């Protein structure tokens, strides 16, 4: 990855500053005048095309009356104009990057998710979510917060102007019976239901297709007027790739995975057959 400012961090800070200014009921002109910068500079900061200095962010937060944890979180984003990408390690009830992921999902015009191991989060039922978290050793208190957050994220797929969404799922994710037969049958039927939406496409890579390039799960987020972002998530590390040279390989990878998968109509038939197997057992 190249040594460039973090576009994903700048865009996260942009969304935060824009929301805080609106909560303070100030125009960009008024806010810019109060801290002695041009309104054009502040506009670029709120669009994520300019990374403001920590000193500038601190001044804005004072103008907006922001204190405590919210102030520290915004300043941390400004202080960490690190090389490309944005990575977080360690576990917590809710990842620090989650609000940014939610923002990116809400702004995206297209979302592609590949999952070789579990059902993609945006398609999961509550029962399946809890079963996966229980199997992963997530404490009940943390699981409640994560289920609520994930359920909230899912509304992006059914809102008035939703993004195009493509899920590519390995058959292994459908055969691993998290929560037992009833939970899995409900989960597969939910995927079939969602796949009928005009903005959703689901494709399964069945075992009988043989081998294909095996990579870990990823989410490719595409935007109307901004570069792509790739979100990668694992147990102890998660992060965003935001430089074109880092995100570009994920589109041909997606094309390769789509070619290995069943088409959407065949996928729906496959899902129905597997759901019926869970119901019969």
As a whole number, mean pLDDT of residues 30-36 equals 88
How high is the pLDDT of residue 80?
Answer: 64
64 domain residue, yes or no: yes
Q: Which domain holds residue 28?
A: 7-79
In the block, tokens 């609106």 appear at 22
Instruction: Please report where in the chains the tokens 């289920």 appear, as a residue.
Output: 147
pLDDT at 3 over 50: no
Give the pLDDT of residue 239: 82
**Residue 175 pLDDT:** 96
Please state whether beta strands 237-241 and 86-89 pair in parallel, antiparallel, or not at all (unpaired).
antiparallel
Q: How many domains does the chain have?
A: 2
Whose CA is closest to 93, among 143, 159, 51? Answer: 143
Task: Give the per-residue pLDDT at 5.
Answer: 47
Instruction: State how far the Cα of 132 lies from the Cα of 128, in Å rounded to an integer.
Output: 6
Query: CA 190, CA 23: separation in Å to the nearest integer?
Result: 38
Burial 222-238 (b: 16+ CB within 10 A, else e): beeebebbbbbbeeeeb
Element (H, E) at 170: strand 164-170
Output the CA angle 109-13-46, nearest 5 degrees: 75
Choice between 82 and 246, residue whose per-residue pLDDT is larger = 246
Q: Which two tokens stand for residue 53?
A: 């200095």
One domain for residues 115 and 178:
yes
Same domain, 42 and 110: no
Q: How far apart are CA 114 and CA 169, in angstroms?
A: 6
Instruction: With cut-offs at 50, 70 and 90, classify the pLDDT of residue 97.
Output: low
**163: which DSSP letter?**
P
137: left (phi over 0), alpha (psi -120 to 50) or beta: left
> Residue 1 domain-assigned?
no
Q: Which residue has the tokens 């090389």?
A: 83
Q: What is the CATH number of the domain that holds 74?
A: 1.10.260.40
Per-residue pLDDT at 202: 98
pLDDT digits (tens, 9 = 90+) for 125-184: 999 999 999 998 888 888 888 888 889 999 999 999 999 999 999 999 999 999 999 999
**Residue 48 domain flag:** yes
Indicate whether 2 belongs to any domain.
Answer: no
Extract the tokens encoding 132.
């996966």
pLDDT of residue 50: 80
Evaluate if residue 213 carries a pLDDT over 90: no
For residue 73, the model assigns a pLDDT of 76
Prediction pTM value: 0.73
Give the percent of the chain with pLDDT over 70. Answer: 90
Is the pLDDT at 188 greater than 90? The verdict is yes
pLDDT of residue 14: 83
Bridge pairing between strands 200-205 and 86-89: unpaired
Distance of CA 148 to the CA centre of its chain: 15
| Residue 93: per-residue pLDDT | 47
Per-residue confidence (pLDDT) for residue 81, from 0 to 100: 55
Residue that terminates a domain, selected from 18, 53, 79: 79
Asked whether residue 218 is assigned to any structural domain, the reply reads yes
Average pLDDT, whole number, for the chain? 86
Task: Name the DSSP letter for residue 203.
Answer: E
Q: Which of 66-80, 105-119, 166-180, 195-209 has the weakest average pLDDT?
A: 66-80
């Amino acid at each position: 990855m190249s040594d460039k400012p973090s576009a994903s961090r700048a865009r996260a800070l942009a969304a935060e500053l824009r929301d805080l200014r609106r909560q303070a009921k100030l125009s960009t002109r008024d806010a810019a005048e109060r801290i002695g910068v041009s309104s054009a500079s502040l506009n670029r900061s709120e669009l994520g095309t300019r990374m403001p200095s920590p000193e500038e962010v601190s001044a804005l937060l004072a103008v907006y009356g922001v204190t405590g944890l919210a102030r520290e979180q915004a300043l941390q984003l400004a202080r960490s104009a690190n090389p490309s990408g944005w990575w977080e390690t360690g576990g917590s009830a809710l990842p620090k990057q989650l609000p940014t992921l939610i923002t990116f999902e809400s702004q995206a015009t297209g979302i592609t998710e590949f999952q070789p191991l579990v059902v993609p989060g945006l398609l999961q039922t509550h029962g399946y979510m809890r079963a996966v978290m229980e199997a992963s050793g997530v404490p009940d208190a943390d699981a409640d917060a994560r289920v609520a957050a994930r359920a909230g994220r899912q509304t992006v797929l059914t809102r008035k102007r939703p993004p195009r969404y493509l899920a590519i799922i390995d058959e292994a994710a459908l055969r691993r019976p998290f929560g037992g037969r009833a939970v899995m049958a409900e989960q597969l039927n939910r995927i079939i239901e969602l796949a009928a939406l005009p903005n959703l496409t689901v494709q399964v890579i069945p075992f009988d297709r043989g081998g294909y390039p095996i990579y870990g799960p990823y989410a490719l987020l595409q935007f109307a007027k901004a570069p792509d972002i790739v979100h990668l998530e694992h147990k102890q590390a998660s992060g965003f790739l935001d430089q074109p040279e880092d995100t570009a390989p994920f589109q041909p990878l997606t094309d390769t995975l789509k070619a290995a998968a069943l088409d959407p109509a065949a996928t729906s038939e496959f899902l129905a057959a597997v759901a019926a197997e869970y119901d019969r057992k």
